[in-house]
Amino acid sequence: MADTRLIQGRYRLLDVIGRGGMGEVWRARDESLGRRVAVKCLKPLGPQHDRSFAGVLRERFRREARVAAALQHRGVTVVHDFGEHEGVLYLVMELLEGRNLSQLLEDNKQHPLSVPDIVDITEQVADALAYTHEQGIVHRDLKPANIMRLTDGTVKICDFGIARLGHDIGFTSRLTGTGIAMGTPHYMSPEQISGGHVDHRSDLYSLGCVLYEIATGAPPFDLDDTWAVLVGHRDTLPEPLRKHRAELPAFIDRIVLDLLAKVPEGRPADAKDLRRRFTAAARSTAGTERPAVVPAQRQHASEPEHASEPEHASEPEHGSGPEHPSERRLPSWTCGMTTGHKAAGAGTLRPTPPDYTAGITGEWTTGIGLRAPVPVQRPRPERPTPPPELLAVLTSRHNAGLSLGRLGRWEEAGEVHRAVAAEREHALGPDHPDTLASRYEVGFTLSRTGRTADALREFGRVAEGRERTLGPDHPETLAARQETAYVLGGLGRHFEAHQVYAAVLASRERTMGPDHPDTLRCRHNLAFNLSRLGRLEDSYRMAYEVAAARARVLGPEHPDTLVTRYEVAYALGQLGRWQEALQLYRDISAARAQVLGPDHPDTLSARYEVGISLGRLGRSAEALELYRALVGDRTRAHGPADPETLRARHGLGVNLGRLARWEEALAEARDVCTIRERVLGPDHPDTLVSRREVAVGLGWLGRWGDALTVYRQVAEARERVLGADHPDALASRNDEAHCLEQLGRGGEAVELYRRVAALRRQRGGHGG
């Protein structure tokens, strides 16, 4: 083709007018009809890609080319022809004379477009989307570079066909073997990011991002790091447009923010509805608008938070992979993903990687994938190429497992992932990235269902496999190693966890930089783990530094920043600096109430810690009133048997005891213990904490014989679950010895004290 510059004896290639992730666009002449056209060439994938995937891609290209060629609308680029020439797939389109919206912004020195231009562009794009959606086509990569304004004022959407291509072979989640991601981060809908169901309303969200940018000069989440951009789309309400540009009509602000609703149901019903609303508002408010600045509001998903054992403890964040079941996780394909181009040409973003699903008229790859180059460090035996249909089915089942996990159905999710992992291993091999992705999810479901030791083994296998195939510093390798550290901490092996966290942190700092969100997440976890090792001053210093860095990178009210400030407050409390901890918890509670809402679980968690601090400062009357209100709010928001509602009731009972209201305290402790035993199980740590509180109440009421029975039950359960030398089990035996003293059984008490002391020395000698 390069020699003759003639395709199929008809299309004469003249000069390149575009080059990018998947192809080259040529200005060409149709020799048969004597007209100018644009020809886009989809070059073959390199040898590093699966042959099966290349076959799937080519077949989808042909099918979707037929679909695109059937679209006939003033607002859609006309496709004249498609075919294959000397191994190169090509698409012949009308030659558009004009500028795309990205270029228009660049021409305008990144200043926003005029209001009449915004109205005109919105109405034309809405018309085009209404037509294509009626044909069953969802664009999935709507962005300024894909919207052209011609010299005659016509607005056209380019690059249709991605939708079916992505949907058919399960590209809503990355095919990890080929490094596939869908869409451009600055313009992706939350459901695209989370790997959920995508329909026409995803295009409306992307259009909202485009309109936000042409109206203000910047996209709604104008951040330099992909992770922050994706989390912004998923969790954060965008600032009102008129905060950036006060003269904008209120209806543009209102409708664009409606388009940016986090859930599809919150957006306009369809593009026709958008067109009607926009046109009606533009006509009714023409010449009547007054500038206004609307206060910004945001919302965020929950981050991993502190629990209480018995009253207060902090919890590490997961690595760059699955997180708490209550948290809406970013899919695994976001690991290591670099930020795609926003419309601005002068941003500080890293170069755009090739997008292997950029679609029929997308960009041609330059050979630098979304993932790090895969160093093949050992020869592998030849394996028959699995059928594309099988790979597609396995990807679909993998996504189904992820969906079950998002719903908290971890046992079912684990069964799905185990089955997919076994089939992928048989079809692709044990070290194939897809197999390891399934194994990773198996490990996560094991950790969520309490099988921590099994999870540790699974994550270890994944980390070793990824290190062999991807390299030791690849983001996915580091994610698996960080999960290994997390489960080590869950097993109480904090020294080993510390070593792994420290190694991962060094690698993240070296490859990603000290302020990358994944680096800061790892440092947060390391700070948490330091507190578990008793290095409280070190933990405080590191948490303080991470909080400052997150405030600088993400903002002072970003949920990640507040999580680490929470860790700072926890460390202050552990150091006995309760007055400082109290003030910080109050600040966090107020910030979360404003950012997340007063009933958000994270806001309520911070209020709980305010109560802890008040109690530690001897201000139990204030703590009691706080816990009464918190119990009411928790019950209303989550129900009376929710573990966090019961945690708040536990705090209420503790402070009743501190106020010497022991009959009430005992009744509260018994009630909470009964519910926890039913909901969590008789040997759950929270149940045992409540049972101990029952014994405390009995002792203060002088019923030492009954108290001794309960203390022994707690000690035996903890020894059975945790081991005889675990600190909690030893504390329970000390409680039992104290009770024996109160009963006048001093000899038995001394013997028990000696036994506890010996176990503590033995544990200390083992370096535990």
Q: What is the pLDDT of residue 178?
A: 33
Q: Is the pLDDT of residue 472 over 80?
A: yes
Torsion of CA 263, 265, 268, 273, to 10 degrees: 150
Q: Is the pLDDT of residue 715 over 90?
A: yes
Q: Is the pLDDT of residue 368 over 60?
A: no
Q: What is the mean pLDDT of residues 384-389?
A: 80
Q: Would you call 141 a catalytic residue per the annotation?
A: yes
Q: What is the mean pLDDT of residues 14-38?
A: 84
Q: What is the pLDDT of residue 335?
A: 46
CATH of 6-94, one of 3.80.30.20, 3.30.200.20, 3.40.50.2300, 3.20.20.60: 3.30.200.20
Q: What is the pLDDT of residue 356?
A: 29
Among candidate residues 50, 117, 127, 141, the one labeled active-site is 141
Confidence class for position 164, pLDDT limits 50, 70, 90:
very low
- Helices (H) and strands (E) in the chain — how many of each? 28, 9
Q: Are 291 and 240 in contact (CB under 8 A)?
A: no
Q: Is the pLDDT of residue 318 over 80?
A: no
Concatenating the DSSP letter of every residue in 76-119 gives BPPEEEEEEETTEEEEEEEPP-EEEHHHHHHHTTTPPPPHHHHH
Q: Are 246 and 281 in contact (CB under 8 A)?
A: no
More confident: 753 or 228:
753
Q: Are 167 and 234 in contact (CB under 8 A)?
A: no
What are the boundaries of each domain within the chain? 6-94
More confident: 305 or 190:
190
Secondary structure of residue 413 in the 3-state scheme: helix
Partners of 19 in the beta sheet? 24
Q: Is the Cα dihedral 323, 329, 335, 340 positive or negative?
A: negative
Q: Is the pLDDT of residue 301 over 50?
A: no
Distance CA 94, CA 96 (A): 6
Q: What is the mean pLDDT of residues 699-714?
A: 95
Those residues whose C-beta lies under 8 Å from the C-beta of residue 761, and which sit 6 or more positions away, are: none
Residue 276 burial (CB count, 10 A): 13
Among candidate residues 147, 106, 113, 148, the one with its CA nearest the CA of residue 346: 106
Torsion of CA 581, 585, 591, 595, to 10 degrees: 140
Q: Are 154 and 124 in contact (CB under 8 A)?
A: yes
Q: What is the pLDDT of residue 163?
A: 43
Those residues whose C-beta lies under 8 Å from the C-beta of residue 638, and which sit 6 or more positions away, are: 601, 644, 645
Long-range contacts of 41-45 (CB under 8 A, 24+ apart): 41/1, 41/88, 41/89, 41/90, 41/364, 42/88, 42/89, 42/90, 42/91, 42/360, 42/364, 43/88, 43/364, 43/365, 44/87, 44/88, 45/356, 45/365
Percent of the chain exceeding pLDDT 70 equals: 79
Q: Are 214 and 113 in contact (CB under 8 A)?
A: yes
Task: Show the tokens assigned to 651.
Answer: 């705090």
Query: Among 254-263, 312-321, 366-375, 494-503, which is the least confidently predicted range?
Result: 366-375
Q: What is the pLDDT of residue 170?
A: 37
Distance CA 88, CA 7 (A): 10
Q: What is the pLDDT of residue 64?
A: 63
Annotated binding site for ATP: 40
SS (H, E, C) 387-404: CHHHHHHHHHHHHHHHHH
Q: What is the pLDDT of residue 50?
A: 53
Q: What is the pLDDT of residue 388?
A: 81
Highest mean pLDDT among 21-25, 513-517, 702-706, 722-726: 702-706
Query: Among 225-234, 295-304, 562-571, which is the least confidently predicted range?
Result: 295-304
**Average per-residue pLDDT in the chain?**
80
Provide the residue type at 571 as one letter: A
Secondary structure of residue 7 in the 3-state scheme: strand
More confident: 105 or 110:
105
Q: What is the pLDDT of residue 106?
A: 87
Q: What is the pLDDT of residue 607?
A: 95
H helices present in 341-387, as ranges: none
More confident: 645 or 168:
645
pLDDT tens digit sequence for 628-668: 999 999 998 888 998 899 999 999 999 999 999 999 999 99
More confident: 348 or 21:
21
Distance CA 143, CA 137 (A): 16
Strands (DSSP E) found in 453-603? none
Question: Cα separations (Å) of 136 from 91, 131, 132, 396?
Answer: 21, 9, 7, 21
Q: What is the pLDDT of residue 638?
A: 84
Q: Is the pLDDT of residue 20 over 50?
A: yes
User: Phi and psi dihedrals of 598, rounded to 5?
Assistant: -65, -25
More confident: 464 or 365:
464
More confident: 4 or 448:
448
Residue 344 burial (CB count, 10 A): 19
Q: Is the pLDDT of residue 676 over 90?
A: yes
Q: What is the pLDDT of residue 764?
A: 63
Distance CA 585, CA 426 (A): 52
H/E stretch holding 251 reads helix 250-259
More confident: 345 or 16:
16
Q: Is the pLDDT of residue 311 over 70?
A: no
Distance CA 142, CA 666 (A): 61
Concatenating the DSSP letter of every residue in 518-544 gives HHHHHHHHHHHHHHHTT-HHHHHHHHH
pLDDT tens digit sequence for 214-224: 999 999 988 76
Among candidate residues 103, 98, 95, the one with its CA nearest the CA of residue 13: 95
Q: What is the pLDDT of residue 21?
A: 53
